[in-house]
Structures are given as C-alpha cells and as structure tokens.
Amino acid sequence: MHINNFPRRMAMIAALVAEMILVSGLRAQPTEQTVQNRFLFVFDTSHDMKLRSDGVEKTLNTLLALSLSGQMHAGDSMAVWTFGQELRPRDYPLTTWNPDNAVMIASNLVKFVGKQHYGKTTRFEPLQPSLNTVMQNSERLTVLVFCDGEGKFSGTPFDDGINQIFDQKRSEQKKAGQPFVVVLRSQLGEYVGCSVGLPPMPLNYPQFPPLPLPPQPPAPKETNAPPPPAPVVITPPLILIGTKPESSPPPKALPTNPPVTATSAEPLSATNAPVTPPVISAPTNPIAPAATPTNVAAPATSQTSTPPAGSGGNGLLVVGSALFGAAIALGLVFWLRPRPKDPSLITRSMDDRK
C-alpha cells in the first residue's frame, strides 16, 4: 500500500514546491494594487466533512502561507461563513489580510473550523441568496467553498460543470480524505470564472478581466477660439442741407413764416419841409407823393404743406421782399429830392413889367 502511494506523494510534493517557487517570484515583484479584492471562505459542516477535517486543515495552511498563490494582497478583506442545513455568516469576525501575520491568521481559522458542529447533509440553497448579495456589492470577489460534493450546487452559471466534477471525483476525494474546493470569481456584480479544486493538488484561480476604463473628463473648452463678432450697428445716413450735417430722423415741421407787412414811410418832419409864402399858388410841375401801400401781406404759406428747407417757396418770398423794399426806397428818393421854390408876388410882378 505504501509503495502504491509513493508516486502520488512525490507528485504532490513536487507540485507544492513548484507553487511555492512561483509565489515567491510573484511576491518579489509586487504590482500596483488598483482595486481592493474581497475573499470569502465558506465551509460545509455536513457529517462527511468531519472525516475530511485533516485535509481541510492542511489545505488552509498551504493556501494562507502562500497568500492564495499571490492572489491576496495586504489590505484585502477576508470573511468566513459556515453552512449545513442553514447559513451562519457572522460567526467569524471580518479580517484584513496581512502576509506578515499569515501563520496567526491560518491558525485561528483552523481552530474555528475544527470547533464547528458537524452533522446531517449539505444543502447549497441557503448559501446562494446571501452570496449573490455580497457579489453585487463587491468590485472583485473570490469565493472558496470547501464541501464534500454530496449535494447539488446551484445558483451560478457554472452549476452543470461543477456537479459533473462532483459526480466524477466524489469517491476519489472521499477515499483520500480531501474536500472539494469550488473557486468562484465575480467582478462588478457578475460571475466571471469558476474552477473546482481537488486538494492536495494546487488550486486554479480564474483570471479577472480588465476593469472598464473610468469615464473620460469632458474636453476643456478651446481658449484660442476667436471672439464672437461684434454686433453690427447700422447708423442712419446723414442728410446734408447746405453745409450743416443733420441726422436722418424726419425733419420737424418748420414754423410758418409770419406774413411780412410793409409799413408806410414815416412822415417828413417840419424841419425838412420847404418854406412857402403865405399865399401859395398852384405849383408848377407838382410831384405827387408816391402812394405808400399799407398792409401789403406776403403770400401766406400753407401750414399743412410746408415746403422743405432750400425749396423754391422761400426763394420767391425773398425775391418778393427785395422788390418791395426797392419800391419803398425809390418812393423815398422821389419824395425827398429838392423842389424849386415858388416865386413870390413881388418877383412875379417885376417879371410882368418886363
């Protein structure tokens, strides 16, 4: 019997040594942690698992000593559940993983599992509702379910493949006193991979897909964009009247020109009147005084149709006023010129005698 088991034991030792070398290389070149991983250890407490407690203890010591083949990093959270006919999720405190305390954490976990009450058979149904809730609230979650493979696994997209491996390897694992370890991985609330481990062989951990890129910030506004064009101001055209520019608003109504009234010439004063004798005979060549027109009104302009400035109406008015002023001046000239003196009676009588 020992001879038949010797090759198998050597293969197990070689696999364990190879895994330790691989993990040491991974820990020597740590990568930048961009996301916090959560790990959940779930232990079946059926009667058959009591017979595999030694295999569970050895598997735990190996996994935690190697930080799950480098999958666990300092600061990751680690929770522990147990289940049989019902789920018990709060019997073990939540732990923050620290590689320097790996031995102590493994020892405490092994003691906790060894103190469980084992009995009856496995039921996976109580496990799934709480497991789905944790998965929905985790960015990345790794679940390790230690079980005997007697029940039917349910609640995941990988149920058929898991149950098929249970059927194929159940008797072999039971004979070796080793549990099954179902590894489930989810990201952003969705299952992304699954594997079934057969201790004491190393476990396989499905890879997480790349996380989606964060949304890009909005592109900054261009600072070199040309300023908006200035509003176009349309200025009214200028209307030139003579040499004075005026704006385009409609011209105000010009006041109606008051009628120009020609006043009569002032009467001559007494000092300017010619001296005449007491008896005045009819003068020869009398000059009749020029008739002085009174109240001669210029043609009135219509108030409703005022001619625009510079039109022919104002020109006629100016010409008429000039002619009227010339007539007055001419009359004054004739009126004021010196008259020949009338001969007196003595002069006339002397002339008659001649």
Lowest-pLDDT choice from 24-28, 98-102, 226-230:
24-28
Long-range contacts from 25-30, C-beta under 8 angstroms, 24+ separation: 26/69, 26/70, 27/67, 27/70, 27/99, 30/73
Residue 216 CA to residue 236 CA, distance in Å, equals 53
At 233, list the tokens.
Answer: 């101001």
Q: Where are the beta strands (DSSP E) in the chain?
A: 37-44, 77-83, 87-88, 95-96, 140-147, 180-187, 190-197, 239-241, 244-246
Work out the percent of the chain whose per-residue pLDDT is above 90: 42
SS3 state at 12:
helix
Identify the CA nearest to 59 among candidates 182, 196, 179.
179
CA distances from 276 to 142, 284, 333 (A): 153, 14, 21
269: helix, coil or strand? coil
Q: Across the strands, what pairs with 96?
A: 77
pLDDT averaged over the chain?
74
In tens, the pLDDT along 249-288 reads 555 555 555 554 444 444 434 444 444 444 444 444 444 4
Choose between 287 and 36: higher pLDDT. Answer: 36
Q: What is the pLDDT of residues 78-128, one digit of tens each?
A: 999 999 888 988 889 999 999 999 999 999 999 999 999 898 888 898 898
The fold of 9-28+35-197 is: Rossmann fold (3.40.50)
DSSP 177: T
130-156: pLDDT as tens digits: 999 999 999 999 999 999 999 899 989
User: Could you give the percent of the chain with pLDDT greater than 70?
Assistant: 57
Q: What is the pLDDT of residues 169-195, one digit of tens each?
A: 999 999 999 999 999 999 999 999 999
Domain with CATH 3.40.50 in the chain: 9-28+35-197
Predicted structure pTM score: 0.55
